[in-house]
Chains A and B, each alone.
Chain A
Amino acid sequence: MIEVRNLTKKYRVGGDEIVAVDDVSLSIKKGEFVSILGHSGSGKTTLLSLIGGLTRPDTGTIVIDNTHIWLLSDDELSEFRNKKLNFIYQFSSLISTLNVLENVLLPTTFSKESDKNRIEYAIELLDMMGIKDKIYSYPSQLSGGQQRRAAIARAFINNPEIILADEPTGDLDEETETEVMELFKKMNKDKGITFVMVTHSTELARQCERVFRMTKGKLIQE
């Protein structure tokens, strides 16, 4: 359960003030699959970043499963992120000095799970993403779409309850896009993972249970 109340985030650039997220409220039930549409610069990434506890809001509250995330200490918040949620970033976010497998395993560095289990699961996920043959490649040796798929595999490795996906299919071809979307839906149905997905594609958005639209920092449900 994600409860967002009156969330506002402003950026100051030079003398100008940009209201990236403007008094946004929304609630997302556990296991829901929602999508957010909107023009470039409308504040979608900022909203995800706020919900995931990466950016501190100016005003407003975010409650995830009864936890006021911005009342947590920095360390508690880190732990919370590690346990509850994971991101798929809009831009390449792989660590360039780690190979694909290591990148995918990264969120489980401190987990109690045995190495064998972690690696097996990582390979299983990479197989689902269709890049099993690239596990020892480095990000610079991958195409944009392959990097994206590795990042998606990484998002699932720690069995998050919530996935915050920022244009996850941005640089994928149509066919792969469909595959990834099917995987998301499967994960959503089988494991009950909550999805909040930012997308430019109305086609993808239509497949979701609820669709929101962001315009100049304001959020409205369609």
Chain B
Amino acid sequence: MKKHLKILEFALSSLLRRKYKNLSIVLVFSMVTFVIASILFLTHSFKKEALSVLEGAPQLIVQRLIAGRHALIPVSYIDEIKKMPGVGKVSPRYWGYYYDQLTGANYTIIGLDRAWSVNGRVMEGTALAPEDIGYCNIGFGVSDRRFLQVGDDLFLQDTKGGLYHFKVKGIFNMKSQLLTNDLVLITKKDFINLFQFPPSMATDLVVEVYNPSEVTNIAKKIKERLPDTRPITHDEILRTYNSLFNWRSGLMLTMFAGAVLAFVILAWDKATGLSAEERQEIGILKAIGWETSDVLALKFWEGASLSIISYLTGIIAAYFHVFFFGASIFAPALKGWSVLFPDFRLVPDIDIYQCFVLFMVTVLPYTVATIVPSWKAAVTDPDSVMRG
């Protein structure tokens, strides 16, 4: 045990002695881990966010189009759709966007109806009930921007400049951030007042279908009976997400491959080259009484500490990059995502398994690549030291 500590100490100080060489290795190694880990973290949280969005997404949404643009839909369409066989509940949704001049941000405002609710849990305060006139629930982003706490008033302007205020009843928690970050939840009555909605109109309709395999069929029928509508199925949303993911992952994959290549070169250099100096050092150590296992332990610690330091640096940097700086380095490659994910911070969430795999494909091969050539030198007769 004590011996191992001595070897570890020796390994660390010998790393320090080759400062510049080892620093450059740590740099390259960290960069590689950083890029790979960033990509892994990013895709992982995107997938999670996307999943949580889809989880809450209804099977079938019916919108109305006028001149190819989304328009308000008459509530009377509900009865029309309900008549179709296989259709369950049909409910109207009231939602819209609100540009907040104060902060320059866009909020999504939803008018809460008995029939429909958002599945974001409230972190502080309590959830809004449909009869809570004059109250609201807000997303974390809104409370952050407007410095609002539970009990404070949120002021919103209508189109004519009239001021409305809503008492904050609850703030959504971070977990479902993508879904609720920019959200303002008010009652349906308040919503209709604020936006001066015509009373018999809704933003869109949510249609429940008894048999999931019938969704496409029913969507087609709705389109036939109500030609000015556009039914959107859950599957279509899924496809949009997927195509975006695939396209973007292609780009990331290129970066990924580059990073892996850099790493392979790094490890290869270690695995093949043992400089005459290193060989002689091993010879001297053996000649003065180090056992083969001591030399291997030394090389193990050298390789392991170097790669673990690099690995941790890379992982931690990637964590901050992705979750605190919004993966800013990848921004150009990520542009497309902002269609689906406007400005928001990803919720820190990492997959331990991914980190473990990354560890296994970087630290492990590098350490092995350090040991193997030294092992060859250590088991052969150390007489090279006699001849310099």
Q: Which residue of B18, B291, B385, B388 is within 8 Å of A74 (Cβ)?
A: B291
Q: Which residue of B10, B287, B383 is within 8 Å of A81 (Cβ)?
A: B287
Q: How far is the CB of A167 from chain B (nearest CB, A)?
A: 11
**How does the 8 Å CB contact mask read for B5-20 relative to A, with 1 for contact and 0 for none?**
0100010001001100
Decide if B388 touches A93 in the complex (CB within 8 Å).
Answer: yes
Question: How large, as a class, is the contact surface on chain A?
Answer: 20 to 34
Decide if A78 touches B291 in the complex (CB within 8 Å).
Answer: yes
Residues from 63 to 107 in A contacting B, C-beta threshold 8 Å? 74-75, 78-79, 81-83, 86-87, 89-93, 95-98, 106-107
Residues of B within 8 A of A78 (CB): 286, 289-292, 294
A34 at the interface (CB under 8 A from B): no
**How does the 8 Å CB contact mask read for B282-299 relative to A, with 1 for contact and 0 for none?**
001111111111100000
Q: Which residue of B289, B290, B294, B385 is within 8 Å of A89 (Cβ)?
A: B385
Residues of B within 8 A of A98 (CB): 17
Q: Report the separation of the CA atoms of residues A124 and B151 in the bound assembly, to the nearest whole angstrom.
A: 79
Decide if B388 touches A90 in the complex (CB within 8 Å).
Answer: yes
Of A47-55, A128-136, A183-191, A204-212, which stretch is located at the interface? A47-55
Decide if B291 touches A45 in the complex (CB within 8 Å).
Answer: no
B382 at the interface (CB under 8 A from A): yes
Decide if B385 touches A93 in the complex (CB within 8 Å).
Answer: yes
Q: Which residue of A48, A56, A87, A96 is within 8 Å of B381 (Cβ)?
A: A56
Decide if A54 touches B291 in the complex (CB within 8 Å).
Answer: no
Q: Which residue of B3, B292, B386 is within 8 Å of A49 (Cβ)?
A: B386
B160 at the interface (CB under 8 A from A): no
Q: Report the separation of the CA atoms of residues A109 and B291 in the bound assembly, to the nearest whole angstrom.
A: 12
Decide if B381 touches A54 in the complex (CB within 8 Å).
Answer: yes
B387 at the interface (CB under 8 A from A): yes
Residues of A within 8 A of B388 (CB): 89-93
- Given that A93-B388, A109-B6, A166-B386 are known contacts, is A75 also in contact with B291, CB under 8 Å in the complex? yes
B260 at the interface (CB under 8 A from A): no
Decide if B387 touches A82 in the complex (CB within 8 Å).
Answer: no
- Given that A54-B381, A55-B381, A110-B6 are known contacts, is A93 also in contact with B284, CB under 8 Å in the complex? yes
B277 at the interface (CB under 8 A from A): yes
Residues of B within 8 A of A82 (CB): 288-290
Q: Which residue of A lies closest to B290 (CB)?
A: A78
Residues of B within 8 A of A52 (CB): 287
Q: Report the separation of the CA atoms of residues A49 and B381 in the bound assembly, to the nearest whole angstrom.
A: 10
Q: Which residue of A lies closest to B286 (CB)?
A: A78
B280 at the interface (CB under 8 A from A): yes
Q: How far is the CB of A102 from chain B (nearest CB, A)?
A: 8
Decide if B382 touches A54 in the complex (CB within 8 Å).
Answer: yes
**How does the 8 Å CB contact mask read for A144-167 relative to B, with 1 for contact and 0 for none?**
000000000000001000000010
Residues of A within 8 A of B381 (CB): 54-56
Q: Report the separation of the CA atoms of residues A86 and B288 in the bound assembly, to the nearest whole angstrom.
A: 7
Q: How far is the CB of A101 from chain B (nearest CB, A)?
A: 13
Residues of B within 8 A of A95 (CB): 281, 284
Q: Report the separation of the CA atoms of residues A12 and B385 in the bound assembly, to the nearest whole angstrom.
A: 19
Q: Report the separation of the CA atoms of residues A201 and B233 in the bound assembly, to the nearest whole angstrom.
A: 98
**How does the 8 Å CB contact mask read for B185-223 relative to A, with 1 for contact and 0 for none?**
000000000000000000000000000000000000000
Q: Which residue of A55, A75, A93 is within 8 Å of B383 (Cβ)?
A: A55
Decide if A75 touches B287 in the complex (CB within 8 Å).
Answer: no
Q: How far is the CB of A97 from chain B (nearest CB, A)?
A: 4
- Given that A96-B277, A97-B14, A97-B17 are known contacts, is A106 also in contact with B288, CB under 8 Å in the complex? yes
**How does the 8 Å CB contact mask read for A100-120 relative to B, with 1 for contact and 0 for none?**
000000110110000000000
Q: How far is the CB of B342 from chain A (nearest CB, A)?
A: 54
Q: Report the separation of the CA atoms of residues A92 and B281 in the bound assembly, to the nearest whole angstrom.
A: 12
Q: Report the separation of the CA atoms of residues A96 and B280 in the bound assembly, to the nearest whole angstrom.
A: 10
Residues from 342 to 388 in B contacting A, C-beta threshold 8 Å? 379, 381-383, 385-388
Kindly list the 5 A-B residue pairs having the minimum CB-CB distance in the complex, ordered from nearest.
A82-B289, A91-B388, A97-B17, A55-B383, A107-B288
Q: 14 extra interchain contacts, Cβ-Cβ under 8 A, other than A75-B293, A78-B292?
A: A45-B387, A54-B286, A54-B386, A55-B381, A78-B286, A78-B289, A82-B290, A83-B289, A90-B386, A96-B277, A106-B284, A109-B10, A158-B288, A166-B386
18 A-B pairs (CB sep. < 8 Å) = A49-B383, A52-B287, A54-B286, A54-B287, A54-B381, A54-B386, A75-B293, A78-B294, A79-B291, A81-B287, A83-B289, A90-B387, A93-B284, A93-B388, A96-B277, A97-B18, A106-B288, A109-B290
B→A interface (CB under 8 Å): 3, 6, 10, 14, 17-18, 277, 280-281, 284-294, 379, 381-383, 385-388
A→B interface (CB under 8 Å): 45, 48-49, 52, 54-56, 74-75, 78-79, 81-83, 86-87, 89-93, 95-98, 106-107, 109-110, 158, 166
